[in-house]
Amino acid sequence: MKVACIAGARPNFMKIAPILEAMKPHSNLEPLLVHTGQHYDYQMSGVFFKELEIPEPDVYLGVGSASHAVQTAKIMMAFEETTLEHKPDLVLVVGDVNSTMACALVASKLHIPIAHVEAGIRSFDRTMPEEINRIVTDAIADYLFPPSDFGRENLLREGIAADKITVVGDVMIDTLFKFRPRAEQTTILADLALKPKSYALMTLHRPANVDVKENLVAILDAIEQIQKRIPIVFSIHPRTKSRVESFGLNDRVASMTNLKIIDPVGYYQFLNLMINAKLALTDSGGMQEETTVLNIPCLTIRDSTERPETVEIGTNTLVGSDTNLILSEATKALDGKGKSGTYPEMWDGHAAERIVQALANL
């Protein structure tokens, strides 16, 4: 069975890596790795292929950056040509980026079965582009692999047949467990003059936070106070860097002497920073899962999450862009009163094996 495995953006690479690895012992599965090029520069793509031991893509679509509509259309046009040429028996998509939905749509119209890894997760916030991508992909997928029972219940409520759904766990955690020893060998802490548990780690990139000046200022108001107490390592996304400049906030940010701004780093380095952080502040989906497994208090700068297990049983707290709420929850964490928790039983590092076994059984 030829399986077209789709990867488009940085979060996809961490999810597709363990699946490709798990396919190796199965002679009846032939992976065809398709990189759409949604993320394309070295720090957002190339370094992840190298560190996560992902083979060179069989097909590189090279779509690049554009608006959601244009990017989705370009992926669909390019991937249709790929499917007609390579004739996959199954299209496997992961996550919720534009590449996920675009390739699923193409497969559906060409009557090629679709498997969706990380199915069923919902924020119930349709202002998020990712939410639309999830809903559409799940509606047309033939095999749905949610990371936990939360995802399964969402799918059942939406009318998805139970026999299409298999709870498998979280492939992001497979990658974390596999590469943690290598991550801990990196010198990133020494390079940044940091000591374990003596700093906070922050990422910020969602349009609701960085494209709206009032929200970005409210977040910076909180960060300005927090960095007076503990150094904050801010791995700045290109989008966020651009907005800080266009909103005239460069001087404000530069005045925060305990805010260490770094460009995006490789997976090993970032994982080491996360493992050793005392607190995480983020609007990323993956970090909510990873910090929960690592038992690190995480403040999610969003009003909703598609990963409720990280809030209900994990270490995650939703704070939105509310300056006072961010400050109060950060103070709790820095005082040793942050959330401690656990994580779903199937987040055990073997999700990819379950997915591939299900595909092999087809």
- Whether residues 77 and 55 share a domain: the answer is yes
- Whether residues 105 and 252 share a domain: the answer is no
Asked, for residue 292, whether it belongs to a domain, the answer is: yes
At residue 20, the pLDDT reads 98
| Mean pLDDT along residues 11-15 | 91
Secondary structure of residue 346 in the 3-state scheme: coil
Expressed as residue numbers, the domain containing 232 is: 180-334
At residue 191, the pLDDT reads 97
* Chain center to CA of 13: 9
In 278-302, which positions are buried (b, 16+ CB within 10 angstroms) versus exposed (e)? Answer: bbbbbbbbbbbbbbbbbebbbbbbb
Catalytic position from the list 35, 39, 116, 205? 205
At residue 48, the pLDDT reads 83
| Mean pLDDT along residues 267-292 | 97
Q: Is 126 left (phi over 0), alpha (psi -120 to 50) or beta?
A: alpha
Helices 98-109 and 129-140: angle between axes, nearest 10 degrees: 30
What are the tens digits of pLDDT across the range 14-26? 999 999 999 999 9
* Mean pLDDT estimate for the chain: 95
Asked, for residue 41, whether it belongs to a domain, the answer is: yes
- Whether residues 247 and 130 share a domain: the answer is no
Residue 219 has pLDDT above 90, yes or no: yes
Residue 51 has pLDDT above 80, yes or no: yes
- Whether residues 205 and 90 share a domain: the answer is no
Asked, for residue 147, whether it belongs to a domain, the answer is: yes
Q: How far apart are CA 342 and CA 86, in angstroms?
A: 43
- Whether residues 134 and 223 share a domain: the answer is no
Cβ neighbors of 159 (< 8 A, separation 6 or more) are none
Q: How far is CA 263 from CA 63, 237, 238, 249, in A?
A: 23, 7, 8, 17
At residue 45, the pLDDT reads 63
Other CB atoms within 10 A of residue 66 CB: 14
- Whether residues 319 and 200 share a domain: the answer is yes
At residue 37, the pLDDT reads 87
Residue in 169, 188, 162 with CA at minimum distance from that of residue 117: 169
* Residue 350 annotated to the active site: no
Residue in 118, 114, 119 with CA at minimum distance from that of residue 170: 118
Cβ neighbors of 133 (< 8 A, separation 6 or more) are 96, 97, 98, 100, 101
Based on the structure, what is the number of domains in the chain? 2
Asked, for residue 339, whether it belongs to a domain, the answer is: no
Residue 358 has pLDDT above 70, yes or no: yes
| Mean pLDDT along residues 63-92 | 95
- Whether residues 9 and 141 share a domain: the answer is yes
- Whether residues 8 and 145 share a domain: the answer is yes
Please write down the long-range contacts of 296-302, taking CB distance under 8 Å and 24 or more positions apart: 297/332, 297/333, 297/338, 297/339, 297/340, 299/326, 299/329, 299/330, 299/333, 301/204, 301/209, 301/219, 301/326, 302/123, 302/206, 302/208, 302/209
What are the tens digits of pLDDT across the range 310-327? 999 999 999 999 999 999
Cβ neighbors of 303 (< 8 A, separation 6 or more) are 125, 318, 320
* Residue where the block lists tokens 């199937």: 346
Q: How far apart are CA 151 and CA 156, in angstroms?
A: 9
At residue 42, the pLDDT reads 44
| Mean pLDDT along residues 145-163 | 98
* Greater pLDDT, 50 or 85: 85
- Whether residues 93 and 206 share a domain: the answer is no
Share of the chain above pLDDT 90, in %: 92
Q: How far is CA 35 from CA 11, 62, 322, in A?
A: 13, 8, 37
- Whether residues 193 and 274 share a domain: the answer is yes
Asked, for residue 342, whether it belongs to a domain, the answer is: no
- Whether residues 56 and 91 share a domain: the answer is yes
Per-residue pLDDT band for 46 (boundaries 50, 70, 90) equals: confident
Asked, for residue 106, whether it belongs to a domain, the answer is: yes
Q: Residues 166, 172, 173, 179: what is their CA dihedral angle, to the nearest 10 degrees?
A: 140
* Chain center to CA of 54: 17
- Copy the structure tokens of residue 275: 């493992």
Task: List the CATH number of the domain containing 108.
Answer: 3.40.50.2000
- Whether residues 143 and 257 share a domain: the answer is no
Asked, for residue 74, whether it belongs to a domain, the answer is: yes
At residue 39, the pLDDT reads 66
At residue 40, the pLDDT reads 59
| Mean pLDDT along residues 28-42 | 84
Region of poorest pLDDT, from 33-47, 85-99, 183-197: 33-47
Q: Identify residue 115 by its one-letter amino acid code.
A: A
Q: How far apart are CA 173 and CA 176, in angstroms?
A: 5
At residue 47, the pLDDT reads 84
Residue 99 has pLDDT above 80, yes or no: yes
Q: How far apart are CA 238 and CA 163, in angstroms?
A: 42
Asked, for residue 237, whether it belongs to a domain, the answer is: yes
Residue 231 has pLDDT above 70, yes or no: yes
Q: How far apart are CA 97 and CA 101, in angstroms?
A: 7
What are the tens digits of pLDDT across the range 279-289? 999 999 999 99
